[in-house]
Amino acid sequence: MRSFQTERWTVDKTEQSLTTHPHVVQASLWINKNEVVALPTETVYGLAGNARSDEAIARIFEAKGRPSDNPLIVHISDRKQLKGLVSSISPNAEKLMDAFWPGPLTIVLPKGEEVSGKVTAGLSTVAVRMPDHVVALAVIEASGVPLAAPSANLSGKPSPTTADHVYEDLKGRIPGIVDGGSTGVGVESTVVECTEDSVIILRPGGITLEELEKVAGVGNVTVDPGIENEKLAPKSPGMKYTHYAPDAPFVLVDGSPEFLQQLVDKERGAGRKIGILTTEERMDYYKADSVIPAGKRSNPETVAQHLYEALRAFNEAGVDKIFGEVFPKTGVGAAIMNRLEKSAGGHIINE
């Protein structure tokens, strides 16, 4: 493992001419040397490298400690960059691009000749999106290349939604972090694959099934069974391995607050320090060593925004075990529960 004196480059996203901002230029120079840097997107911070370079992609996997059979998402700033990255684009995929780009939607397309085979993990397809963040777009434009960019965290840990999170995980592993402030959506992009007349969700995320149906038509959007089956080869990022996990064992509880409190009391009675992941509405109900809310249950978008921040906070609390509430799998709740189930390694206690 190579080591760096990791720099932090602050960029105010309200400034003009971001592509010539000294810190954006500095990040792009590292990228053009086939190194990797962290940058903000509207979902989470990404660890970005030249998507055409085997050397750069190998450095992404090295810095993250990420398994190389897990494909990466390529980020572009202009649809003209799809030329060479992909070999074809279906009318159905074009329709989704028109509706949701720039934004948190990744589309899996037949790969072209200009993308590194390490990006696609040997697949015949490549996942592409256009982020809705001016700093990310400026870095892509300044570097002049499409960027492969998984989340900028150590593999398996909660994804970073601030530059501080990135620094905590990757200090010394990468040359620098473009600090563009906190991210917005808070969970990664939705990943879809298109057939001639349907859309298949490979990973739920910032664009909901209901939003996709408004464009593709009700009944034309389905969920791939591989989302719940880690034995299948992953078609997209986020379909394999335990992800987003805090340091302490994490267990989901599908039941009443009273039932969850009983589980906590039993563990604390055995001398263990226990944390509870909840929402603002219920945090005063629970008694535990650490009770951390992730947004409001009445507003699931806030839960998505604060989920990873809350999971990381348990590491500082030093608890022995964490119990977490479950959420309805509707709207952005599908993405929240996908991340929570991955965090828990599928471990759920039912009342």
* Residues 17 and 153 occupy one common structural domain: yes
What is the rounded distance in angstroms from the CA atom of residue 271 to the CA atom of residue 251?
18
* Residues 181 and 264 occupy one common structural domain: no
Amino acid 67: pLDDT? 77
Q: Are 101 and 144 in contact (CB under 8 A)?
A: no
Q: Are 300 and 325 in contact (CB under 8 A)?
A: no
Instruction: Read off the pLDDT of each residue in 92-111 and give the average, rounded to a whole number.
Output: 97
Amino acid 196: pLDDT? 85
For 230-252, give one letter per residue: b (16+ CB within 10 A) or e. Answer: eeeebbbbbbbbbbbbbbbebbb
* Residues 258 and 337 occupy one common structural domain: yes
β-pair type (46-50, 37-39): antiparallel
Q: Is residue 158 part of a domain?
A: yes
CATH number of the domain residue 111 falls in: 3.90.870.10
- Range name among 66-80, 96-110, 255-269, 298-312 with the lowest pLDDT average: 66-80
Report the alpha-carbon angle 299-303-308, nearest 5. 170
pTM for the whole structure = 0.93
Instruction: Please say which residue of 138, 153, 186 terminates a domain.
Output: 186
Q: Is residue 208 part of a domain?
A: no
* Residues 30 and 175 occupy one common structural domain: yes
% of the chain residues with pLDDT over 90: 90
Would the pLDDT of 234 be above 90? no
Q: Number of C-alpha atoms within 13 angstroms, CB side, residue 347?
A: 13
What is the rounded distance in angstroms from the CA atom of residue 136 to the CA atom of residue 197?
31
Structure tokens at 98: 């028109």
Amino acid 232: pLDDT? 47
CA-wise closest residue to 321 among 252, 242, 241: 252
Q: Is residue 206 part of a domain?
A: no
Would the pLDDT of 240 be above 80? no
* Residues 342 and 254 occupy one common structural domain: yes
Amino acid 23: pLDDT? 98
Residue 226's pLDDT band (cuts 50, 70, 90): confident
Q: Is residue 202 part of a domain?
A: no
* Residues 258 and 336 occupy one common structural domain: yes
What is the rounded distance in angstroms from the CA atom of residue 351 to the CA atom of residue 349?
7
* Residues 167 and 279 occupy one common structural domain: no
What is the rounded distance in angstroms from the CA atom of residue 220 to the CA atom of residue 299?
27
Position 231: which residue type? K
Amino acid 245: pLDDT? 86
**Structural domain containing residue 291:** 250-350
Instruction: Read off the pLDDT of each residue in 12-35 and give the average, rounded to a whole number.
Output: 97
209-216 helix and 91-100 helix, angle to the nearest 10 degrees = 120
* Residues 168 and 278 occupy one common structural domain: no
* Residues 13 and 149 occupy one common structural domain: yes
Q: Is residue 100 part of a domain?
A: yes
Residue 211's pLDDT band (cuts 50, 70, 90): very high
Q: Is residue 99 part of a domain?
A: yes
Number of domains in the chain: 2
Q: Is residue 157 part of a domain?
A: yes
* Residues 177 and 33 occupy one common structural domain: yes
Residue 236's pLDDT band (cuts 50, 70, 90): low
DSSP 234: P
Instruction: Please say which residue of 153, 186, 219 terminates a domain.
Output: 186
DSSP 155-190: TTSPPPSSHHHHHHHHTTTSSEEEE----SS-SPPE
* Residues 14 and 105 occupy one common structural domain: yes
Would the pLDDT of 241 be above 60? no
CB atoms within 10 A of CB 97: 18
Would the pLDDT of 272 be above 90? yes
CA-wise closest residue to 193 among 202, 181, 185, 182: 202
Mean pLDDT (the chain) is 94
Q: Is residue 194 part of a domain?
A: no
Instruction: Please say which residue of 153, 169, 186 terminates a domain.
Output: 186
- Range name among 52-61, 210-219, 222-231, 238-247 with the lowest pLDDT average: 238-247
163-170 helix and 300-317 helix, angle to the nearest 10 degrees = 40
* Residues 44 and 156 occupy one common structural domain: yes
